[in-house]
Amino acid sequence: MKPHNIALLPAAGVGSRFGANIPKQYARLLNKPVLQHTIDLFAANPRISQIAVVVSPNDEWFDDCIALPPQAAVYRVGGNSRAESIANGLTYLLHHKMIDETDTVLVHDAARCCLPQTALNRLLDALEQDHENRGAILAIPVADTLKRQTPNAPHIAHTVSREYLWQAQTPQAFQAALLHHALQQADWTQITDDASAIELLGIQPILVEGDSRNIKLTRPDDARLAAYFLQNPDN
C-alpha cells in the first residue's frame, strides 16, 4: 500500500519578532488567522491525507479562532523549540498509531501561509521518486551576493561564494520513523530545521525548487506581502 502524506504543522511558537500582541500564527490576514490559511492550503490538496497541528499546552487562541477541516486535528504537545514541538507531535502520533512508521510526514511552518500548490505538488512528485528514502525539502538557490561580516562590526570581511548554496524552506518531508529517530538523536537547541537532524545521520535529503512566495511571516512588514500573495494566487 502507498504510504500516506501527513502534514505536520508546528504552531507552538510565540513569534516575538512579528510584533503583534498574539502569536503570529493567530494574527489575521485577509480576515482569517495565518494558521487557518496554512491548514486550508493543505486541506485543499487531495494528496494530503491528514493534517496534524501542534500547539502549546498553554495555547489560549486555537479553540476560539481555528476551524478544523475533517482531515485535521490539534495536539497540545508543543515544546520549547520548533524541533521539540515536532518531536513531541511525532511521538504522540506514532505512539497512538494515528500514523504509520512508513507514512511520509511533511513538516511545514504554520507561519508559511502562502505556499503555492504548484510548489507543494513538486515536493510530492519528488517524494514519489525518492526510492532511497532520503526525504526532500523545498528550497531556493541563493540569488544575491553573500557577504560575511567582520566579527565585531557590520563591515565586509569577504564575499562568500553562492555556488551550490540554497535557502531552506518548508515543507520538509521524511518517512515518519526516520524523522522521529533523527530528532531523538539531535540537540534540539542546535537545529533550526528538520533536514539538519536527518543530515546528522549521514543522509542527504533531496533539494526541490521551492517558491519565493513561500515566505515565513517573521517581521510586521511581511504581513502586507503575504496578503498580496494570498490575494493573487496563480494556481
DSSP class of residue 81? S
Name the residue among 136, 95, 139, 113 with its Cα closest to residue 216. 113
Note whether 25 binds ligand C5P by CB under 6 A: yes
- How far is residue 114's CA from residue 216's CA, in Å, rounded to a whole number? 9
Of positions 57, 80, 121, 157, contacts ligand C5P by CB under 6 A: 80
Contacts of 73 (CB under 8 A, 6+ apart): 50, 51, 52, 53, 98
Measure the CA angle with vertex 9, ends 7 and 13; round to 5°. Answer: 170
Question: Which of these ranges, 45-53, 64-72, 76-84, 152-160, lies near ligand C5P under the rule CB under 6 A?
Answer: 76-84
Q: Which is nearer to ligand C5P, 99 or 130 (CB)?
A: 99
CB 10 within 8 A of CB 86: yes
Of positions 33, 79, 135, 205, contacts ligand C5P by CB under 6 A: 79
Instruction: State the minimum distance, in angstroms, from the CB of residue 56 to ligand C5P.
Output: 7
Note whether 136 binds ligand C5P by CB under 6 A: no
Q: Which is nearer to ligand C5P, 84 or 103 (CB)?
A: 84
Of positions 7, 8, 10, 214, contacts ligand C5P by CB under 6 A: 10
Note whether 214 binds ligand C5P by CB under 6 A: no
- How far is residue 95's CA from residue 91's CA, in Å, rounded to a whole number? 6
The residue nearest ligand C5P at its CB is: 13
Q: Which is nearer to ligand C5P, 12 or 208 (CB)?
A: 12
Note whether 5 binds ligand C5P by CB under 6 A: no
Number of residues that bind ligand C5P (CB under 6 A): 18
Beta bridge partners of 75: 54
Name the residue among 108, 113, 112 with its Cα closest to residue 30. 113
Note whether 12 binds ligand C5P by CB under 6 A: yes
Beta bridge partners of 6: 50, 105
Provide the binding-site residues for ligand C5P, judged by CB under 6 A: 10-13, 15, 25, 54, 78-82, 85, 109-111, 216, 218
